[in-house]
Homo-oligomer: A and B are copies of this chain.
Amino acid sequence: MRRSREDTRRTRQQIVEEAARALRAEGVEAMGIGELMGRVGMTHGGFYAHFRSKDALVAEACTRGLDEQRAALLAAAENAPDGEALRTIIRAYLSRRHRDVPAEGCAIPALSTDISREPKEVRHAFTDAVESYAGQLARFAPGDTEEERRDEMLALLAGMAGAIALARAVDDTALSDRILLASRALYQRAFASDGGEEARR
């Protein structure tokens, strides 16, 4: 039966939130519409009152997942002591927690492989979100121009995402930990004390 506008809005938002979690935890294919709607307390048929297709939801949930992580990193960097913003980003991203809880982490290591095989609709949303992700964190990266800083941040995010993805893939905790630690050391060294907003203050 028909629901109030407020209920409808809330339901739609819950679906996107659950999808953003499920996507990162299970991947695009494994995230089922039925399971998702069950988590929101409804049956699968109602889904299509909110979204044109699964792809449309995936596109929106990708954006959501990336925006969440961007906001978390931004907050961490802004609260970091002077000159420590980029180090803080690197430490937070390459943490055991981030490796172990994909559902609440960055969508790049969880989904980049899947996304390249998705339809245009999804890839486009993902691309836009990645650009604004790197764009908003760029001020913490070294470089003389906005472009340089954004490119540095893109390379850093891509690299850290690779480290998390590989650390999740391997079946050996010791090896996984070594991947995280060695990657931390690598990026801290590459972006040592020189760059970033603080150096320009």
CA distance A32 to B161 in the complex (A): 28
Q: Considering only CB atoms, which chain B residue lies closest to A125 in the complex?
A: B171
Name A139-155 residues within 8 Å CB distance of B: 151-152, 154-155
Which chain B positions have C-beta within 8 A of A124? 171
Q: Considering only CB atoms, which chain B residue lies closest to A131 in the complex?
A: B175
Contact with B along A157-195 (1 / 0, CB 8 A): 111111101111111100100110111011101100000
CA distance A177 to B15 in the complex (A): 34
Which chain B positions have C-beta within 8 A of A108? 162, 166, 169
Residues in chain A within 8 A of chain B (CB atoms) = 26-27, 29-30, 102, 108-117, 120, 123-124, 126-127, 130-131, 151-152, 154-163, 165-172, 175, 178-179, 181-183, 185-187, 189-190
Query: How many copies of the shown chain assemble into the complex?
Result: 2
Q: Considering only CB atoms, which chain B residue lies closest to A113 in the complex?
A: B113
CA distance A56 to B57 in the complex (A): 33
Q: Considering only CB atoms, which chain B residue lies closest to A192 in the complex?
A: B190
Q: Considering only CB atoms, which chain B residue lies closest to A156 in the complex?
A: B186
